[in-house]
Every structure is written in C-alpha cells, then in structure tokens.
Amino acid sequence: MVDKLKVSLLGSTGMVGQKMVKILANHPYLELVKVSASPNKVGKRYQDSVKWIETGDIPENIRNLPVVSTSYEDHKDVDVVLSALPNDIAEGAELELVKNGKIVISNASPYRMDPDVPLINPEVNWEHLELLKAQQQRKGWKGLLIKNPNCTAAILSMPIKPLLEIATKSKILITTLQSVSGAGYNGLSFMAMDGNVIPYIKGEEDKIAKELTKLNGKVINQKLEPANLDVTATTIRVPIKVGHMGVINLITDQKVSIEEIKYALKNFKSLPQQKRLPTAPKTPLIVREEEDRPQPMIDVIAENGMAVSVGRVRYENNVLRLVILGDNLIRGAAGITVLTVELMKELGYI
Amino acid sequence: MVDKLKVSLLGSTGMVGQKMVKILANHPYLELVKVSASPNKVGKRYQDSVKWIETGDIPENIRNLPVVSTSYEDHKDVDVVLSALPNDIAEGAELELVKNGKIVISNASPYRMDPDVPLINPEVNWEHLELLKAQQQRKGWKGLLIKNPNCTAAILSMPIKPLLEIATKSKILITTLQSVSGAGYNGLSFMAMDGNVIPYIKGEEDKIAKELTKLNGKVINQKLEPANLDVTATTIRVPIKVGHMGVINLITDQKVSIEEIKYALKNFKSLPQQKRLPTAPKTPLIVREEEDRPQPMIDVIAENGMAVSVGRVRYENNVLRLVILGDNLIRGAAGITVLTVELMKELGYI
Amino acid sequence: MVDKLKVSLLGSTGMVGQKMVKILANHPYLELVKVSASPNKVGKRYQDSVKWIETGDIPENIRNLPVVSTSYEDHKDVDVVLSALPNDIAEGAELELVKNGKIVISNASPYRMDPDVPLINPEVNWEHLELLKAQQQRKGWKGLLIKNPNCTAAILSMPIKPLLEIATKSKILITTLQSVSGAGYNGLSFMAMDGNVIPYIKGEEDKIAKELTKLNGKVINQKLEPANLDVTATTIRVPIKVGHMGVINLITDQKVSIEEIKYALKNFKSLPQQKRLPTAPKTPLIVREEEDRPQPMIDVIAENGMAVSVGRVRYENNVLRLVILGDNLIRGAAGITVLTVELMKELGYI
Amino acid sequence: MVDKLKVSLLGSTGMVGQKMVKILANHPYLELVKVSASPNKVGKRYQDSVKWIETGDIPENIRNLPVVSTSYEDHKDVDVVLSALPNDIAEGAELELVKNGKIVISNASPYRMDPDVPLINPEVNWEHLELLKAQQQRKGWKGLLIKNPNCTAAILSMPIKPLLEIATKSKILITTLQSVSGAGYNGLSFMAMDGNVIPYIKGEEDKIAKELTKLNGKVINQKLEPANLDVTATTIRVPIKVGHMGVINLITDQKVSIEEIKYALKNFKSLPQQKRLPTAPKTPLIVREEEDRPQPMIDVIAENGMAVSVGRVRYENNVLRLVILGDNLIRGAAGITVLTVELMKELGYI
C-alpha cells in the first residue's frame, strides 16, 4: 500500500508498548514512525532505551528510531497517536496532544468514564465512535480522544455481549483469576507472588462493573446511555504471567438453552469481522468443548491473542455458568488499540 | 497420661498419611502403634517404605514401626483405625475392618453420602455422631464407620455454618481456587500445571454441593435430614502447592449487616473449642481486615492449619461476598480426622 | 517441490513427537505421511489419539492421518523413519525396521554408543555419517541406523566444538541447569518440582561425558576413534519448563584470548550452514554481550530453537568460563533429527 | 536468666530483619528492646510499620515496640546493636554508632574486606575476633565493628573449611544456584524471574572469592593474613524463594578418599558446638547419602536453617565434587548474626 498511515506511540518501552511495536512492525497500512518514552531516554535510539522482553529481536524497522518526548511538537506530523502510557502520567500528556489537534487512542484509565469520550472495544461497541461527532464541541478540543477499556473489562465484555442478547435480565457475578502482567512488568515481586494467590487488585472490581455498563450502553442523539447492568466482580491475582480468566455466573429467570447459548457465542461476529480488519480475530469467541479448557498455557494465544476462549458452558439452578480466558496484553491492551485505529480508518474518522 | 488410645493408620506413606504421622507423633493421648501401607511395603520399617516429603525428619517414635497390611488381623488390638487411603481402594479395606468390629474414621470418599454414615466436620456438625447409635443395626456391622468430608467441603463448611444462621434463605455461588496437593502428590505434572490454571477438577463441584447439604443437615430420630441448600460451585486448579481458596457469593433478600456477619464469624465456637480438644483451633474462623488477605503464603498455617481465614467481607446488591482460605491437607484432611477421634473420645464413642 | 521425501514418525504423540509434527508440517521437501503411536491408539486419527500440548492447533495436513503401529509392514513404503520413541521401547521397534531395510534416525538412547552407529549432531560431526558405509556389513542389517545425542550433549557439543580447536588440551568441568521437559511431560510432578531444585538426573552425567567423547571423535578407515576428553559433569534439575543451561569451565594451560574465543564462537559454521539446509540455524552460536544473558525466557527460541546462545565469556586463573543455553526439545531433540534427515539427503544417503 | 543482654536492631522491618525478630523473640539471654527502621516509620509501633511476611503473627513481646531511628541517641543504652541494613545506607549509620562507642554486628557489605574488621562465620573463623583487640586503636573508634559474610560465602565456607584441611592445595571451581530472596524481597519481579534462570548476580562472584580468602585466613600478631586460595565462582539466580545451592568442584593432585572426606564433613564441630551456643546447629554439616539430595524444599530448614546440607560427594579424575545447600536468610544472614553475638558474649567481648 502506497500511503501508510503514520503512527506514533507513547509509552513505547513498557510491556504493552513493546507488544504494540511488534504488531505495528508488520502492519499492512500502519507505519510506526515515532516512539516516545520517558525524558531520560529521549534522543537515544529505541534499541538503546528499551529493556526488550519480547521473544525474538527488536524489529529491524523500529530498532533505530530515535526516542521522542510526548509533547505536541514531536508528534505534529503523524496521523494518529497511540498511547500505552502509565495511568499516572497519561492524562497530561494525552490532553496536550488532543487539545493541539491530534487523534489519540489510549489504553490508560483517565477519561475512560467521561460521557463524551468513547470507550471502545471494537467488536462490542464500535457504534460508540458516534460520540466523537460531538466531542470537539463539548470539550473544546481540536483533536479527538478515544479510550480502550481496562484489560479485564475488554476480555469480559466480549462473551457478555451476546449473552445479554439472550438473557436480557440478569444478575451477573464474576470472579476473575488475573495474571501478573496485568500489574505491570515490575508490579509484583517474585517473593510476593510465587506460590501465592492475592485476592485483591486495587480499583479493579469497580472498573469492571462501571466499564461493562458503559461498553454495553447505547448512544442516542450523540449521548451515551449506560446499560442497566447488575454486575458484581471479585478480582484475584494468580501466579501466571499472561492471561486473565473469568468465571461468569449469570443468574436469570429466563429459561435458556445451552445449545442456543453456545450457538450465539460461536457465531458472534461484528463490524471488525465483516470488514476484515487486519488485526481482528476471525472467530472472536472460541467455544471449547473439552471439559478442562480454556487453559492459559494452551489457549491464550488463540487468534494471535485477539480471541476470547469460552469453556465449561453450563446451565442449572437458573445459573448460566461459563469460564472465559483472554490475553490481557493483546486483546486487553496492545491489540485492541491497533484494532481501534483500523476501525476508525474504516469508518472514516482518520 | 497413662492410658493412651492405641491408633493405627491406613495409607500412612501418602501425603495426607505423613501429615497424620506428624500430628500423632506428639499427641497427648493418642498413640500411633501401627502403620499400614501397600502390600509391597509390608514388613519393612516405616522409614524404609516412605518417601518422606514433610519438612524435618520422620518422628523418632514412628520411624522404626513395622509396616502392616490393611487386614483385620493386623489391626485387631487397636482402639481406633484412621484411614488416609486412596479412594479407589478404601472401600474394601475399610469395610473389612468395620465388619470385624473396628471403629474406622476415614478421609476417603466411599460411603460419604450414605445416610447411615456420619460425615463429620467437628465444629460444624458434631451432633451427627448420633447417627452411630443406629448404624450397627441398620448396616449389620460390628464396628463403626465415620467419614470426613472432601477437603474443599471441609473448609467451605466452616464459614458457611454461621453465615446460614444469619442469612437463612440464600442462593450460594462459589468459585474455588484449589492447590495442586489436592490432586495428590503425583496428581499433576509440573509441565501441565506450572504457569497454568485448569478450570476443572473431576467430580469436585458435585461433591461440594452434596456434602454441604449433608453437613448442614439435621439428625432427627437418628435419621439425617439434609439441608435445603441452593449451592453451585465452580472449581479451579491454580499453581500453588497448599491451600484452597474460595470466593463465596451469598445472594439473599434479607438485609444483612457487615458488622453482624463479621461478629458471627469471629465468634464462631463449637464443641471442640468448648471441650478444648487438643487439635481444635482456638479461633476456628479468623477474620482478616487487611484488604489483600487471606493469602496462602501467609495464612494457610493459621492455628497450625486448623483454622479457616476469612477476608474481604462485603455486602452490596443483595450479595454477601467473602474470600476464604484453609489448609486442604490439615483442616481438609489429616487434622480433621484426628480432631474427629478426639471428639468421639470426648463423647464416649471410643 | 514435486518429489517430497516420504517420512514416518515413531512416537508421534509424545512431547518431542509433537514438536517434530510441527516442524514437518511445513517442511519444503519432507512430507510426514505416517504417524505411529502406542498400540491402543492404532487406527484412530492423529487428532483423536494425541493430547496436544503445543500452542496453536494441530496442523491441517496431519490431524486426520491414521495412527499406525511401529511394525515394518506399516512403514515399508516411506523413505525414512524418524523416531521419538521412549528409550525403553525404542530398541526393539527400531531394530525391526532397520533389519528389514529401513533408514531410521532416532532420538532414543539405545545404540548411541555403538561404534558402528553414527551419533550425529550435524554441525559438530556430520563426517561421522561415513560410518554408515560399513554399518550394514558389520551389523548384518539391510537398513541403516543413525542416532542423535542426548539433549544436553547435543547442546553442549555445539560451543565445545570450536573451543576445543583453540584450547586443545583442557580439563572440562560442566554444571548443567536442566529444564523439566527433559524428564518427559509427566516425568516430574508439580509438588516435587515447584520451588525446588533437584541435584540429580539419572544417568545424565555419564551420558554427557561419553557422548561428548564420541561426538568429538574422528572416523578413520570407517572406524570411530573417540576423542581424548577429560569431562566431568554435574547435572541439576531446575523448575523451568524448557531450555537447558550449562556452565562450562575449561581449564587450560594454553593462554587464550577472550576475543579469539568469541570470534571462533560467533563464526562457527559447518556443512548445514554452507548447504543452507532448511532447518539449520544461520548462526549456530549466538554470542551475547549483555552481562545477564542468556536467559531461557528470552533466548531459548533463538533461530527457532536451533541455535545455542553463549554468554558471560571470561578467562581468568587459567579458566575459560562461559554460560550456554539451548532448547532441549528443538536443538536437543526434534530439530536435530529433522536436520539429520536433511543432511543425509544432501550427502546422498537417502 | 535474670540479666538479659539488651539488643537493638537496625533494619528491623526488612526480610532479614523480620527473621532476626523471630529468633530474638524467644532467645534465652538476648532481649530485643529497640527496633529501628527508615525515618518515615520512626515513632510508629513495630506492627504498624512492618509489612510482616513471616508465617505466624508478629511476636507478642515485639509488636508494640516503638520504632526508633538509627542515630546514637536512640541506641545508647543497649549492650549490642545488630544490623540488617541495606548495603547502601549501612555504612553511615553503623559508623556513627561505632564511633560513639557501640558494638555493632552487621550483615551489610561495607567494611567486610577491611583488614581491621573481623568478618565472622562463627564455626569457620571465630578466632578472628582477635582482630578486635587492635581495632579501636587502629581505627580510632570508641566501639567495635564486626561483620558477617555475604550469604553465599557464609554457606560455602562451612563445608570448605574441613575440605581445605584435607585437600590443602586445590583449585576450587564453584557454580551457585541462588534463590530470589537473596536479591531482597522486592529485588526481582515475578515477570522477570518466573520460569526463568538469570546467569548473573551483580558483584556476587567477586565477593565470594574475596570473602572466602579472608574467612580462611589467619590472624597473626593481630593482623589478618588471607588464605592463598584459588577460587572461581559463577553465580546464577534460579526461581526458588529460599536456599542457596552450590556445586563445588575441588581439583586436587592429592589423592583423597571419599570416606575420609565424608567423615571430616560429618564430624566438623567448632567452638559454637563445644560451648553449646543457643543458636548453633548441633551438626553444622549434614551429609546426605540419598542420590537426589540436598533439595531446597526438604533440606533448607535443617537445624532451623543453621546447618549446611552436603550431598553427592564424589571423587574422580582428580576432582572432588559435592553439592551443598544452606538457608541464605538464616545461616546466611539472620542466624549468623545472632550466633556471632552469642560467640562474643561467650568469649567476653560483650
């Protein structure tokens, strides 16, 4: 393709940033032209500023890129800015860029629940991009800000979308078993986590409940109406590196059929599949029939980490139960952001 | 004490058997006089027939005991037989002893759901020993058979007992995170389990639901009436060695107060505490106020592994939620059996 | 390529067998046409007889192959038989095939030290295939038997080859840190190995010393003269899944230069590189300059698992020291066997 | 005992500090009366300033101690100061106390190699306390400074002491497999270390070589003459929590007998054993005859973590080989310091 979109990346040396670098290095029409990192790295080459932890070497076409700052001057000539910044410094950096006219698609948490900012999981709620039409006016920004959900909400919302179309009135109880990468590369020490389970992840349960409500909402007259969901989540850290698992208990008075549920899950497709977006999984939800699946060791890489695996689908005592698994770094972070760029280009926002 | 009770132990070389050996080696009034193991070990000394995996050396007073068979001849002069036999060979061996007049207290699964066999977790349902009064007549046995519950049911039933006294009409949804020792020492390979989570444990979910119903039942006219419980469990294997965690969601229309719940949990005492049985924990339920507890690494050994730790007690959206943790090898197996012997002696059954 | 070589695989459902299936599924001129497994699986389709543990799905072109036995009848129409059989059943099965005229290339240990059977690590001693010219006559076989070394010897022999060309008279002391997959998928339980180090691997130290002597030997007049090596190895199991590390201490009176050593390692090439065999690594020895490399997490997949990484090259007190790392399942097993087929085809043995 | 020695502890909230708290809480004649921690904790109670990670609760008699600073004013009324301070802040704090007249026994690295400061591993070189007689004069200090060795040197020096008495002229090659706790509680992240081996520990190899030379030296005329040792160590981090293993290769022309070596190891006793110091292990070196021992999971707690286990003792090709294991937090840090206090009291230095 002659005209690639020029992309810059904030937070390029972190764990999620490195995943994005890998995805972008071989992209058919996105070209990573600027990598940004913390001030002490600015001016170095990418390969000299990163502690590379991905398997394989740093992609040829990226390793010699000079590291730039997050300020507008350094990004003014790119088409879109992706952000894998840490939550605590994201707000300032991203707003500066948006106010100056850039389109920023971000993984960081600030502004996720802002009613004027679309929180996008492409297969689940691509129509929410509609909010962008009023964003500039309401916010007084020259650019655009788009957020991706928390990694766990991103994964959970995939199977919940078709489930809610069948079991419309439900009480949803979720227990998650989340991998250590979700806390960041240095977030948990080996001494604290090896051979241990920690039944607490700061802020996570609240994020899941709120973001699921927004993700399943509707945009009416360019306003977001959140869904009326009854969600309670208990989030637990388990000693594995990658992959977030969720046990979903959906209590519903409507009688549901297991076969109908599995059919709906297996056949769940959305705009990214219809438009064959490059990063979209062909089968977003993979239903496993084996009694002991999904397992992180085997299933987390399904569809290059972009699919969510679903297993142990059962219904008894008015409870629909299933176990789901997704890659928190790909589906939950790096991949969802790239897919959002593709979606926005497809729909003419970029 | 001059007159110690003479005890023999079936399955003495396994993981749970070794735990029992350690507990019995220093017991104030129980004396382990016979150890039994598989036929190829019979005749050897204990220390030559066991692959000792407990920390510390084999207790002095046990290591030279000769290994005997499981047949009646080898146990006829002991006061009580404890069994840590594997499920698949327990039934035959235990029945032979019971039919010949021995009192057998067993951890193995066969006969757990038999209405004439008490399934005992001492703090929860010591009164069920009442069933023994009719057991010999109904079964035609000369001895007595007493069962302890599945390790997960043993742990879960501790906090559920006082909870059900407050929230009497409830739907209970449980997700467990169970350690690898629950599958036996060689039950899961390092390759299959390291860095992995397996959302399936054969037969476990059904056992939990059924055994909780029996444990919370009532004995009326020497007949057991199971409790009317609505329990659904999802059981998951996580890569830690010891300790079973449970996330309990109790859905109830009755408005409950967190303070009342915590008070009831903290002050839960039963006959083993009142009678100060040697193996009984002083505080059976330890309520943790820290936001990130209980953790297996820190809490599993509370009260020498006999207490259950409870944390993250919360109530919202009609859901009472808590996270519990117990030692599956001690509270869930070796310790509960020894405590049952003490209980039976206290009540005059031995 | 029009004429692919027809290949069959013994032990196709094991851990190494599955790796071979993956490598062969996309091979430019080898076609896997028969998969063999234990008698109870014969007649089933491959996908119904294997507990697939590789990431990704079973290759399209393999999953429906019918499983055959190891007997000659089932392999008579293939060009070459690869064997990933367990050591205890390999000898009988492989000999039957060789006596009946098949070419068998095997990973299993029997016959590795037989003076008439070449023990081949292609980059190290491809010339040893010369032994095949006399093998049929001396053994009275109609076919040919070729062995690959033990996984640890395969990895260690790669850097030792160029080292011995510089430091010819040396005492070599090796300590290995070997991953759990080296013991087979079910070889070590999670309970025994997690959080533990076991300083013993049955038979391994002896194999390493002997096989290194054979691998570094010379074929003169179609007879193997083993090298005169002074090797002592201590082998230790560490709790990681894949990758064998070795600490090599080479004590030598010859003064050596670090730069000369590194140069020799980096530029080590052999026939597989010169002939560009499809499975050969471009750079067989990758010298890492970072002070904390090689690490299994990052380096084991170098060159698709076919290269050996070398780090921490130092020389002091007459001791040349280095740390090496290789993939025990690829370089040490599955890959080396496929590379041996390619080598034999290149040299006209097949 | 009526007159307990009053002890204060610097660095009391760290991992090693907590171990010392546990040891001191039940000591027959040492009484921990002051606990010191970083400035932001001063004034709080101990239990409110520590993230307790030891199993079991904080000892009754310690939990309410107020946290003090490291300055002299806060320690002037104690008999001896123990230090578990981090290396980077130890020097200043310890020197202030020593200059003002306190006896400080420290685990931290500064001053370890100072010729006037005894580096004490009690069983190995208790006579080096002799250096204290000249320390005040040479240094101009009013107090005394005593150092304990690096954890790995502490463990290795135990078996090396009797070995050097038999094989006096040797080249010693060591490979260590060190646990993660050696890097501090937060020293290595789960993401970096789980399923990984890192063949590098900053500064460790040099420390081992130098400290072994000092520990095996002789004090002549109140001057230390280091031993003439030829030691080369390669140090490797492995993913276990506690326990440092070492593979010792001792190359010697003297013919040695395995039985003589084992006898010397088994019967190694020193002043701490003769004087029955409370923290001294009865058997400092435990020789294991099983082929797969020592293992961290089983052996690290031998003699409450104060003994070093030795296994796989072999001699061939002029190489005496053995595998040793010790508890890096107890024998290598907390226990050795307490034992040094006991030693100094026994010899009249306190």
Which tokens sit at A101? 């006219």
Nearest CA in chain C to B239: C190
Query: Residue C215: which CATH number?
Result: 3.30.360.10
Residues 6+ apart with CB under 8 A from A49: A13, A37, A41, A67
pLDDT confidence of residue D57 = 84
Q: Is residue A149 within 8 Å of A119, Cβ to Cβ?
A: yes
Out of A15, A53, A239, name the one closest to residue D190 (CB): A239
Residue C210, H or E segment? helix C204-215
Q: How far is A251 from chain D (nearest CA, A)?
A: 36
Q: Is residue C67 within 8 Å of C21, Cβ to Cβ?
A: no
d(CA B334, CA B343): 15
* C102 and C170 belong to one structural domain: no
Q: Which domain holds residue A285?
A: 151-327
d(CA D156, CA D215): 11
Asked if B151 is an active-site residue, the reply is: yes
Contact status of A269 with chain B (Cβ, < 8 Å): no
Q: Is the Cβ pair D298, B195 closer than 8 Å? A: no
* A124 and A254 belong to one structural domain: no
Q: Which of residues 272-311 of D touch C (CB under 8 A)?
A: 291-297, 311
* A57 DSSP 8-state letter: P
Q: Rounded mean pLDDT of A176-204?
A: 97
H-assigned helices in chain A: 15-25, 46-49, 60-63, 87-99, 122-125, 132-139, 151-166, 190-193, 204-215, 258-266, 271-274, 296-299, 335-346
* C137 and C266 belong to one structural domain: no
* A25 and A144 belong to one structural domain: yes
Residue D2 has pLDDT above 70, yes or no: no
Q: Which residues of D are catalytic?
A: 151, 244
Q: In terms of Cα–Cα distance, which of A3, A77, A1, A12 is closest to A337?
A: A12
Q: Is the Cβ pair D247, C171 closer than 8 Å? A: no
* B252 and B159 belong to one structural domain: yes
Residues 6+ apart with CB under 8 A from B248: B156, B159, B160, B163, B172, B173, B174, B320, B321, B322, B323, B324
Q: What is the mean pLDDT of chain C?
A: 96
**ipTM, two decimals:** 0.96
d(CA C230, CA C209): 8
Q: With b meaning 16 or more CB within 10 Å and e meaning fewer, what string describes D74-93?
A: bbeebbbbbbbbeeeebeeb
Beta-carbon count within 10 A of A345 CB: 16
Q: How far is A195 from chain D (nearest CA, A)?
A: 9
Residue A93 has pLDDT above 70, yes or no: yes
Angle at D118 between CA D113 and CA D123, to 5 degrees: 115
Q: How far is B291 from chain D (nearest CA, A)?
A: 13
* A32 and A135 belong to one structural domain: yes
* Segment among A150-159, A164-173, A295-304 with least mean pLDDT: A164-173
Residues 6+ apart with CB under 8 A from A297: B192, B195, B196, C53
SS3 A188: coil
How many folded domains does chain C comprise?
2
Q: Which residues of A are catalytic?
A: 151, 244
* D26 and D156 belong to one structural domain: no
* D182 DSSP 8-state letter: G
D8 phi, psi to nearest 5 deg: -120, 160
Q: How far is B161 from chain C (nearest CA, A)?
A: 32
Neighbours of chain C (3+ CB pairs under 8 A): A, B, D
Neighbours of chain D (3+ CB pairs under 8 A): A, B, C
Catalytic residue among B27, B75, B128, B244: B244
Q: How far is C252 from chain D (nearest CA, A)?
A: 13
Contact status of A51 with chain D (Cβ, < 8 Å): no
Q: Is residue A182 within 8 Å of A15, Cβ to Cβ?
A: no
* A318 and A269 belong to one structural domain: yes
Cα distances (angstroms) measured from residue D195 to each of A15, A329, C296, D200? 17, 19, 8, 16
SS3 C102: coil
Which tokens sit at C255? 């003064």
Residue D1 has pLDDT above 50, yes or no: no
Residue A1 has pLDDT above 80, yes or no: no
Give the residue carrying structure tokens 């076609």: C31
Nearest CA in chain D to C292: D200
d(CA C239, CA B194): 9
Out of D198, D245, D292, name the one closest to residue C200 (CB): D292
Extract long-range pairs of B68-71: CB within 8 Å, 24+ residues apart: B68/B8, B68/B34, B68/B35, B68/B36, B68/B42, B69/B36, B69/B39, B69/B42, B70/B10, B70/B36, B70/B96, B70/B97, B71/B96
Burial (Cβ within 10 Å: 0-12, 13-18, ≥19) of residue C213? middle
Contact status of D56 with chain B (Cβ, < 8 Å): yes
Q: Is the Cβ pair A245, B296 closer than 8 Å? A: no
* A205 and A120 belong to one structural domain: no
What's the length of chain D? 350
* C12 and C143 belong to one structural domain: yes
Residue D130 has pLDDT above 60, yes or no: yes
Q: Radius of gyration over alpha carbons of chain C, in Å?
A: 20
Reported confidence tier of residue A201, pLDDT bands at 50, 70, 90 = very high
Residue A313, H or E segment? strand A308-316
Amino acid type, D207: K
Q: Is the Cβ pair D200, C251 closer than 8 Å? A: no
* A183 and A220 belong to one structural domain: yes
d(CA A177, CA B197): 9
Query: Residue A57: which CATH number?
Result: 3.40.50.720
SS3 A312: strand
pLDDT confidence of residue B1 = 46
C236, β-bridge pairs: C177
H-assigned helices in D220-311: 258-266, 271-274, 296-299
Which tokens sit at C95? 């000999």
D328 CB neighbours in chain A (<8 A) are none
Kindly give the pairing relationship between strand D223-225 and strand A218-220: unpaired
Kindly give the pairing relationship between strand A67-68 and strand A30-36: parallel
Handedness of CA C157, C158, C159, C163 (dihedral sign): positive
* B219 and B171 belong to one structural domain: yes
pLDDT, tens digit, 9 for 90 and up, residues C66-124: 999 999 999 999 999 999 999 999 999 999 999 999 999 999 999 999 999 999 999 99
pLDDT confidence of residue B2 = 55
Q: How far is D49 from chain A (nearest CA, A)?
A: 18
- Provide the number of CB pairs (under 8 Å) joining chain C to chain D: 117
Which tokens sit at C89? 């059943």
Q: Is the Cβ pair A189, D194 closer than 8 Å? A: no
Question: Residues of chain C whose pLDDT is less than 70?
Answer: 1-2
d(CA A175, CA A234): 5
H-assigned helices in D50-198: 60-63, 87-99, 122-125, 132-139, 151-166, 190-193
Contact status of D51 with chain B (Cβ, < 8 Å): no
Beta-carbon count within 10 A of A6 CB: 15
Residue A2 has pLDDT above 80, yes or no: no
Reported confidence tier of residue A3, pLDDT bands at 50, 70, 90 = confident
d(CA A318, CA D177): 54
Contact status of C140 with chain A (Cβ, < 8 Å): no
C196 CB neighbours in chain D (<8 A) are 240, 295-297
Which tokens sit at C238? 């560490």
Q: Is the Cβ pair A239, D185 closer than 8 Å? A: no
Nearest CA in chain B to C53: B192
Contact status of B53 with chain D (Cβ, < 8 Å): yes
A53 CB neighbours in chain C (<8 A) are 297-298
Asked if B128 is an active-site residue, the reply is: no
SS3 B79: coil
Contact status of B245 with chain A (Cβ, < 8 Å): yes
Residues 6+ apart with CB under 8 A from C70: C10, C36, C85, C93, C96, C97
- pLDDT by residue for chain B (350 residues), tens only, comes to 458 999 999 999 999 999 999 999 999 999 999 999 999 999 999 999 999 988 888 999 999 999 999 999 999 999 999 999 999 999 999 999 999 999 999 999 999 999 999 999 999 999 999 999 999 999 999 999 999 999 999 999 999 999 999 988 789 999 999 999 999 999 999 999 999 999 999 999 999 999 999 999 999 999 999 999 999 999 999 999 999 999 999 999 888 999 999 999 999 999 999 999 999 999 999 999 999 999 999 999 999 999 999 999 999 889 999 999 999 999 999 999 999 999 999 999 99
Residue A325 has pLDDT above 90, yes or no: yes
Amino acid type, B203: G
Which tokens sit at A77? 């000539």
Residue A100 has pLDDT above 80, yes or no: yes
